[in-house]
Amino acid sequence: MSKTTRLLTLIPLIAAICLSGYNLWSISDRYVQEAQIKDDLSKYRPATLTAAAASKPPEGFPTKKIEETEEIVNIQIKDLQNDVNNDIVGWMDIPDTRIDYPFVITDDNNYYLRRDLYGKQAAAGSLFMDYRCDKDFNNFNTIIYGHNMKNGSMFGDLKLFADEWFFESNTRGTVALRDKTYTAEFFAYMVIRADDNLIFDTSAERGEFFAHIKKNARHYREPDMDGRVLTLSTCSYEFNDARIVLLANLTILKP
């Protein structure tokens, strides 16, 4: 084989190696970027999340501050909004997962798909509420989206609930807003189509909504059908346009 032939053979191989190396670096850089932001914002994590995870309130819980006519339960959320981004609504925590993040809302569901909480371009995006939702969680069904990152960050760990043992063992999460804290009691794990008009409806008819879940859920326990619902959604790769959803009842966490 001549030198020219060998060189022509090696060029595509070298290009492929370089491309693979760049892709690996790019993926790693995304994870580093997301982890750095998470670490930077950790000082704002509301104390009520730790209290909820411990299932008992610490002394003086919750910390309340009255400013004008507004009652502040989680002063850290107010500080996040003032210091970082006023689109931030609250903070979500699910024990035994990596899901421990602030979340946002704006009038365009695509805006935070590829932007971090500072509004900068980021492959991991941010957790964000459906623009149709009320930021005070007054809808029957409040929907929050996030990317299914391969390293488990953002909403990547929702897939852990596919395991029946994990679903049965991890029954609750916590959502902290500036004026209240909710306990989220998980009642169903599903893999559905992205165009499921019942699950992705903020004001669905209750009977039809809950009947659809019971019929199609992979894991299920009886919910409070009179209560509010939180729907957490991320991509699934089981079939085209598949979505993982984890559904919970919301109740106010009392001190």
The 10s digit of each residue's pLDDT in 202-217 is 999 999 999 999 999 9
Please write down the HEC assignment for all residues of 118-186.
CCCECCCCCEEECCCCCCCCCCCEEEEECCECCCCCECHHHHHHHCHHHHHHCCEEEEEECCCEEEEEE
1 by DSSP, 3-state: which?
A: coil
Residue 8 has pLDDT above 50, yes or no: no
Distance from C-alpha of 237 to C-alpha of 244, rounded to nearest angstrom: 9
Q: Does domain 45-252 have CATH number 3.40.50.1110?
A: no
Residue type, 111: Y
Residue 239 has pLDDT above 80, yes or no: yes
The phi and psi torsions of 134 (rounded to 5 degrees) equal: -85, 130
What number is the average pLDDT over the span 110-136?
Answer: 95
Q: Are strands 228-236 and 70-72 parallel, antiparallel or unpaired?
A: unpaired
Match 């991890």 to its residue by tokens. Answer: 170
Distance from C-alpha of 136 to C-alpha of 134, rounded to nearest angstrom: 5
pLDDT band at residue 129 using 50, 70 and 90 as cut-offs: very high
pLDDT band at residue 53 using 50, 70 and 90 as cut-offs: low
Query: 5-14, 108-117, 148-157 — which is least confidently predicted?
Result: 5-14
What number is the average pLDDT over the span 97-123?
Answer: 95
Residue 254 has pLDDT above 70, yes or no: no
User: 159 with 148: CB under 8 angstroms?
Assistant: yes
Residue 69 has pLDDT above 60, yes or no: no
For residues 115 and 54, the model is more confident at 115
pLDDT band at residue 63 using 50, 70 and 90 as cut-offs: very low
| C-alpha dist (Å) from residue 138 to 28, 47, 94, 132, 135 | 39, 23, 21, 11, 8
Distance from C-alpha of 131 to C-alpha of 147, rounded to nearest angstrom: 17
Query: 25-39, 85-99, 109-123 — which is least confidently predicted?
Result: 25-39
pLDDT for the residue 2: 59
pLDDT for the residue 71: 74
Write out pLDDT tens, residues 160-208.
Answer: 999 999 999 999 999 999 999 999 999 999 999 999 999 999 999 999 9
pLDDT band at residue 33 using 50, 70 and 90 as cut-offs: confident
